Amino acid sequence: MGLLDNKVVLVNGGSQGVGAAIARAAVREGAVVAVTGRRPEPGEALVAELAAAGGKAMFVRADLADAEQAKTSVTRVVESYGRIDCLVNSAGLTSRGTLLDTTPELFDQHIAINLKAPFFAMQAAVSDMVARKAPGTIVNIITSSAHGGQPFLAPYVSAKAGLVGLTRNAAHAHRWDRIRINGLNIGWTATEGEDATQKTFHGAGDDWREQAAARLPMGKLGQPDEIADFVVFLLSDRSGVVTGSVIDWDQNVLGGLD
């Protein structure tokens, strides 16, 4: 038996990176999986990969910057499979901006993707769970930068810190509905999106991963498949009663000083 046998799981922002790794892990553990993304090519390719491995999956095209599409991502899953048991909000915008140079437009983009989309996807998912009087689980992929972060991440940190508060608020509000909601503050992770970010905003070369790994305590960046295994555990009954927890999944220790 898998940890998520017969569970219907939606991974928003699941067509690449950490989200795709979570989708693969969920299918491996017996779940029926839906993934969302703006571009159909990577999403449909992932679904084909999962189907070839014997899994059941679907792709939902959605621009999560639009709150209505974030809600619709859930309703499409409910229409297709009759319910939603688990939701993962893994989409994230990491474009740079400081307190001094962030425009209102950039700030709004971060709020839309990093906070508003999870809010309304959670609203739709919890509504389905409550209507069915059924338990469920939600995991929000957040960031260790929510504790403060670098100066060039001001709008990103603002939105993700809001997601920390939302995670705890919603978990408290729906604990009597047996809906468990947790968050993961992930650290520096090796993904396709991070590769593009390093090259676009920091002029990094193709060997940036190796250079970064040499400066980290564990000698490597965070790996999507490792994060995915942890998320599957939080989605599953094996994580027991835990709810409202925002866990630092990182190799740097908050408050630790050298």
CATH code, 101: 3.40.50.720
pLDDT (tens digit, 9 = 90+) per residue, 7-38? Answer: 999 999 989 899 999 999 999 999 999 999 99
pLDDT of 216 reads 86
* Closest alpha carbon to 140 in 103, 109, 170, 183: 183
Locate 82 and state its tokens: 């009759």
Assess contact for 19 and 35: CB atoms under 8 A.
yes
Check pLDDT > 80 for residue 190.
no
What H or E segment, with its residue span, contains residue 54?
A: none
The angle subtended at Cα 156 by Cα 151 and Cα 160, nearest 5°, is 120
pLDDT band at 6 (very low <50, low <70, confident <90, very high): very high
In a domain, 132, yes or no: yes
pLDDT band at 199 (very low <50, low <70, confident <90, very high): confident
pLDDT (tens digit, 9 = 90+) per residue, 167-182? Answer: 999 999 999 999 999 9
Locate 161 and state its tokens: 């810190």
Check pLDDT > 80 for residue 191.
no
Among 59, 120, 156, 249, the active-site one is 156
pLDDT (tens digit, 9 = 90+) per residue, 115-170? Answer: 999 999 999 999 999 999 999 999 999 999 999 999 999 999 999 999 999 999 99
In a domain, 216, yes or no: no
Check pLDDT > 90 for residue 257.
no
pLDDT of 23 reads 97
In a domain, 81, yes or no: yes
Number of domains within the chain: 1
pLDDT of 211 reads 84
Q: Where are the beta strands (DSSP E) in the chain?
A: 8-12, 32-37, 56-61, 86-89, 136-141, 179-186, 246-249
In a domain, 2, yes or no: no
The yes-or-no answer on residue 81 being catalytic is: no
Check pLDDT > 90 for residue 213.
no
What's the Cα-to-Cα distance from 127 to each of 75, 136, 237, rounded to whole Å?
A: 10, 11, 21
Assess contact for 87 and 122: CB atoms under 8 A.
yes
Q: How far apart are the C-alpha atoms of 90 and 93, rounded to whole Å?
A: 10
Average pLDDT in the 226-239 region? Answer: 97
In a domain, 256, yes or no: no
In a domain, 140, yes or no: yes
The angle subtended at Cα 19 by Cα 16 and Cα 21, nearest 5°, is 85
In a domain, 45, yes or no: yes
Domain range for 82? 8-187+222-249
* Closest alpha carbon to 116 in 153, 84, 163: 163
pLDDT of 196 reads 80
Q: What is the mean pLDDT of the chain?
A: 94
Assessment of whether the complete model's pTM goes beyond 0.85: yes
In a domain, 202, yes or no: no
